[in-house]
Amino acid sequence: MFRKLKRRVKKKTDYYQRLGLLKSKLPRLVVRKSLKNILAQVVEYKPQGDHIITSSISKELRKYGWKGGNNLPAAYLTGLLIGLKAKKLGIKKVILDIGLQRSVKGSKIYALAKGCLDAGIEIPIGDEVMPIEDRIKGKHIENYAKLLKEKGLYERFFSQALKEGLKPEEISKHFEEVKKNLLENFKE
């Protein structure tokens, strides 16, 4: 009992939210993000403790050719990857668990959920919170790169992507290539 109270006091767990998610009796799509990565796990409740069925982290996208860093397109691709893995394991429906993270319309969390939906996993979520297609593909990054090129700040802001060999003004093309690689690897 003390352990639960301790997690509530430290603001690590919202037990009212968790109880609501567990009452659905569906596996949870747990999404956690950091500055460098975004993590997705399909988790099933067991009385002894939660059981992770499958997981995916944005670092895994490198195997499929991703060079674009940790951004909205990477979140979508991570969602697509976890969705394809879950589908392969026979999971058809999950419920989104964002934990204590703030729910922001069009954020990485919802880009990941959109990727999972596009993989064929059913998630009870509204379309109004999903990012628009142009942002998922990285068009906003391309526009920003073009703007910075004019101002002479291009190399400073995109040094990591340039070091990887990716031109930020071509990120939507790169996104489509990686998405195609992911889908080909998980063909049935």
User: Which pLDDT value is given to residue 3?
Assistant: 57
pLDDT of residue 11: 65
User: Which residue range is the domain that position 111 belongs to?
Assistant: 23-185
Does the pLDDT value for residue 41 go beyond 80? yes
Does residue 160 belong to any structural domain of this protein?
Answer: yes
Q: Is the pLDDT of residue 16 over 80?
A: no
The average pLDDT across 118-128 equals 96
> Into how many domains does the chain fold?
1
CA neighbor of 29 nearest in space, from 69, 80, 71: 80
- The per-residue pLDDT of the chain, averaged, comes to 91
Q: Is residue 7 part of a domain?
A: no
| Residue 15 in domain | no
For residue 75, the 8-state DSSP code is H
CB 70 within 8 A of CB 37: yes
Of residues 1 and 39, more confidence is placed in: 39
Q: Is residue 5 part of a domain?
A: no
Domain annotation covers residue 104: yes
Domain assignment present for residue 140? The answer is yes
Residue 154 lies in a domain: yes
Give the CATH number for residue 55.
3.30.420.100
- pLDDT tens, residue by residue, 71-118: 999 999 999 999 999 999 999 999 999 988 889 999 999 999 999 999
Q: Is residue 4 one of the residues assigned to a domain? A: no
Q: What is the pLDDT of residue 187?
A: 81
Distance in angstroms (rounded) separating the CA atoms of residues 43 and 124: 16
